[in-house]
Structure 1
Amino acid sequence: MEFRRQLESLFLVFCFLGVGGEGLRDQEPCEFPAIYNFGDSNSDTGGISAAFEPIPAPYGEGFFHKPYGRDSDGRLLIDFIAEHLSLPYLSAYLNSLATNYRHGANFATGGSTIRRQNETIFEYGISPFSLDIQIIQFTQFKTRTNDLYNQAKTPLERSNLPRPQDYSKALYTFDIGQNDLSVGFRKMSFDQLRAAMPDIVNQLATAVQRIYQQGGRAFWIHNTGPIGCLPVNLFYIQNPPAGYLDQYGCVKAQNDMAVEFNRHLKDRVIKLRAELPKAAITYVDVHAAKYGLISNAKNEGFADPLKVCCGYHVNYSHVWCGSIASINGREVYGASCGNPSRYISWDGVHYSQAASQWFANHILNGSLSDPPVPITQACQGVKE
């Protein structure tokens, strides 16, 4: 019976895809001059590469033809958002070389969490740039670029800098929280993690409030995906007990925790709307899109959603994408598959460009958003 209910829910999701925002199509689209993004590796366009060791080949080679600071073979969801809004790809705030910030900046870094974690990136890959640090960086960025803009004497000197008046008109995007769950799975019992969820979402709400206080008005907030479907969580599982995996082969308890986290997040976003009456805050159900594709991969033209394109995995031994390791005395390279466009998972943690594009096609029209507005209308409801 439970299986049938889930299938019916998925059927409703797919029926709903593509029909969002019908009542808004006659309205003028928002003219977002910039995007400011906060998040983790799902939307990092070069931050962690600039701060630490660059992401190696074959990352990036499917679109950029070289490593390009992204944990994918090509573009991420945030890149498709920029394309959809006719804006350039976002430069990472931490990348100071030949960067153009006229149309926004990206403060996301791979491994980031909402709450600060008491460990280094060299232990479990957790970034030191938690969400509160990203907001501090944004505040510094805004202050410094405003100063430089006002001091500039020619249009050329200003050409790579944000216009001060654009901050209030920009779109502020958030895609973060997945790593808070992964840390929780590693360090806490499920009961402890559940107890921590209100504080985690409150800290995200505080970040939104701080940007609002600085004039930000349009917010686009992604929930977290089905973390139990990430192949990395399945690499070393042997003979799982009955009920450990769901009908699609994902770790059920982890997915249940993601759903619970998203419920807390949505409730907090609803409260934020009352607390920030001049803002337009859109909650985006990325989880529905990701789980919808994973559960219907074959019909959508993809391979087994739990298979990894890049990396070497056999008999519970794994070599990470782009790395070299010794297995049974033999040197093995974690190479890319021949056709990444057929894979949902790129490296076991991150999605392929093809999957990200699929998500974008089913998210940006507003059909999985609350309120159901397309991203081009995400400023509707902003008050002066």
Structure 2
Amino acid sequence: MESLGYTMSRISFSRRVLLLCLATTLLNPAFGTPACEFPAIFNFGDSNSDTGGIAAAFLAPPKPYGQTYFERPSGRVSDGRLIIDFVAQNFGLPHLSAYLNSLGVNFTHGANFATAGSSIKPPPCGDQFSPFFLDLQFNQFTEFKNKTQFIRRQGGIFGSLIPKEKHFVKALYTFDIGQNDLGAAIHGNKTLQEIKASIPDTVNSFSANVKNIYNLGARYFWIHNTGPIGCLPYTLVRISGQRDESGCVKPYNELAQYFNYKLKEAVVQLRKDLPHAVITYVDIYSAKYSLISNAKKYGFEEPIVACCGYGGEYNYGIVQCGRTKMVNGTEIYAGSCEKPSVRVNWDGIHYTEAANKFIFDQISTGAFSDPPVPLNMACHRH
């Protein structure tokens, strides 16, 4: 049987441990910080985050787009969900409705202004690029913010399908754009020097739009840099030589890295210029390149070969995904590969749902962010 003195000594020791733990918790701001609860998300970008904008404006991607999750074409240029879908799900929000979609939409928890082919600067003429560049997406957001509050005040069914006014301040504002500015320049036969020289002006335009959105009340920003464009089949089929150890076009990946360097500089300046903003810079380039260069380690195969398409070494270029074409007298349908779940690239430009989910899992931890905070803490200053 324990003595009373020994028992009291143990209680005293336990109290000291408890007090030490409480003191540590109070002194360490990482403990006890509540997770962020964003009531809405407003997204700006290109095909990497387009949930149906370009499909509503022009033409929806055909089958087998959407086959993995939606079991039908959903307006996304993937076999399933995109990173932005997983971001929304992370906060218990529904998938974002595209601003341009007029059928069956619900904007209660935000809206998506991204469209496939969009760029930061006005696009060149041609069917590869969207007319909805970032300035126009900002204008659409401005109209959306103003008109929705008028509709909400009127009440009724339509008033119930739009965000509350307070949600615009509390929302998360996400960006994934810039890839098409580089792509348009690359495929417009500009030299690497010419493209590099244009990047500061492009990034300045991006910053101007962030400031404009901030001036409308936005406070929480989650900004992706641009991915390794030199690893995409649509680049690989046009460029010979100058490959890195992963088979990607090294000069174009270096171009993307320079864009990202200037973008990160701009984010640092935005933090100074926008005193009430909380801005997280997400290194999507490193997350994507890590997957491509270590595909086998993570259970993926043929990371720089398109799953859906037809033609040559990269299964891209002769017949586009979901299309049918006569090739040497034979009708060829470019369908999906057998197992998209183990493939990285979907159609030569975009990623599979499996790759998007893997990348989301990496970036949501904060491991690829500056500051290195998880997505659930993106409303707190660090």
- For normalisation by structure 2, the TM-score amounts to 0.90
- Per the alignment, residue 17 of structure 1 pairs with none
User: In the alignment, which residue of structure 2 is the partner of 1:352?
Assistant: 352
More displaced, 55-64 or 189-198?
Answer: 189-198
Q: 1:131 to 1:337 in 2, by over 3 A?
A: same
- Is 2:277 the partner of 1:279? yes
- Report matched runs for 1:108-147 at 5 Å: 108-120=114-126, 122=127, 125-147=128-150
Contact kept, 8 Å, 2:108 with 2:160, in 1: the verdict is yes
Alignment partner of 1:88 is 2:94: yes
Q: 1:278 & 1:157 partners in 2: Cα distance?
A: 32
1:149 aligns with 2:152: yes
Q: How does 1:304-315 map to 2 (within 5 A)?
A: 304-314=302-312
Q: Report how far residue 25 of structure 1 moved.
A: 5.8
Distance 1:284 1:226 in 2: 14
CA distance in 2 between partners of 1:157 and 1:97 (Å): 13
SS of structure 1 residue aligned to 2:281: strand
Choose which of 271, 286, 289 in structure 2 pairs with 1:288. 286
Aligned to 2:381: 381
> Is the CA contact 2:234–2:317 (under 8 Å) kept in the aligned structure 1?
no
- The aligned amino acid for 2:285 is H
Deviations 1:307-345 (A, max 9, x none): 111111237862110001111111100100111001000
Report deviation, 1:23: 6.6
Give unpaired runs (5+ residues) of structure 1: 1-21
Partner of 1:185: 186
Tell me, in whole angstroms, the C-alpha distance in 1 between the residues paired with 2:30 and 2:364.
Answer: 13
Q: Aligned residue for 2:232?
A: 230
Deviation at 1:130, TM superposition (A): 0.1
Q: Is the 8 A contact 1:222 1:283 kept in 2?
A: yes
CA gap 1:216/1:287 in 2 versus in 1, 3 angstroms: same
1:236–1:196 CA distance, 2 compared to 1 (3 A): closer
Q: CA deviation at 1:157?
A: 4.4
The one-letter code matched in structure 1 to 2:312 is V
Corresponding position: 1:202 with 2:200: no
1:8 corresponding residue in structure 2? none
Residues 201-255 of structure 1: per-residue CA shift (max 9 Å, x gap): 1111111101100000000000000000001112355xx44xx100110000000
Decide which structure has the larger Cα Rg and report it: 2
The partner residue of 2:243 within 229, 240, 245 is 245
Higher relative contact order (CA 8 A, sep 6+): 1
Separation of aligned partners in 1, 2:301 and 2:267: 35
What's the CA shift string for 1:139-186, capped at 9, x where partnerless? 00000001101121x5x4432111011100000000000000011112
1:118/1:212 CA distance change after superposition, 3 Å: same
State the distance in 1 between where 2:39 and 2:147 align: 19
- Describe the shift of the 1:157–1:320 C-alpha distance in structure 2 as closer, same or farther (beyond 3 A): closer
2:13 maps to what in 1?
none
Query: Bigger shift: 228-237 or 134-143?
Result: 228-237
Q: Partners of 1:136 and 1:177 in 2: how far apart?
A: 18
Using the alignment, how far apart are the partners of 2:52 and 2:82 within structure 1?
11
Aligned-residue Cα RMSD (Å) equals 1.5
Shift of 1:376: 1.1
Say if 2:124 and 2:184, in contact at 8 Å, map to a contact too: no
Aligned residue type for 2:187: R
Alpha-carbon offset, residue 306 of structure 1: 1.1
Q: Distance in 2 between matches of 1:30 and 1:294?
A: 31
Q: How does the TM-score come out when normalised to structure 1? A: 0.89
Aligned to 2:4: none
Counterparts in 2 of 1:186 and 1:235: CA distance versus 1, 3 Å: closer
Change (3 A) 1:116 1:27: same
Q: What is the number of residues matched between the two proteins?
A: 352
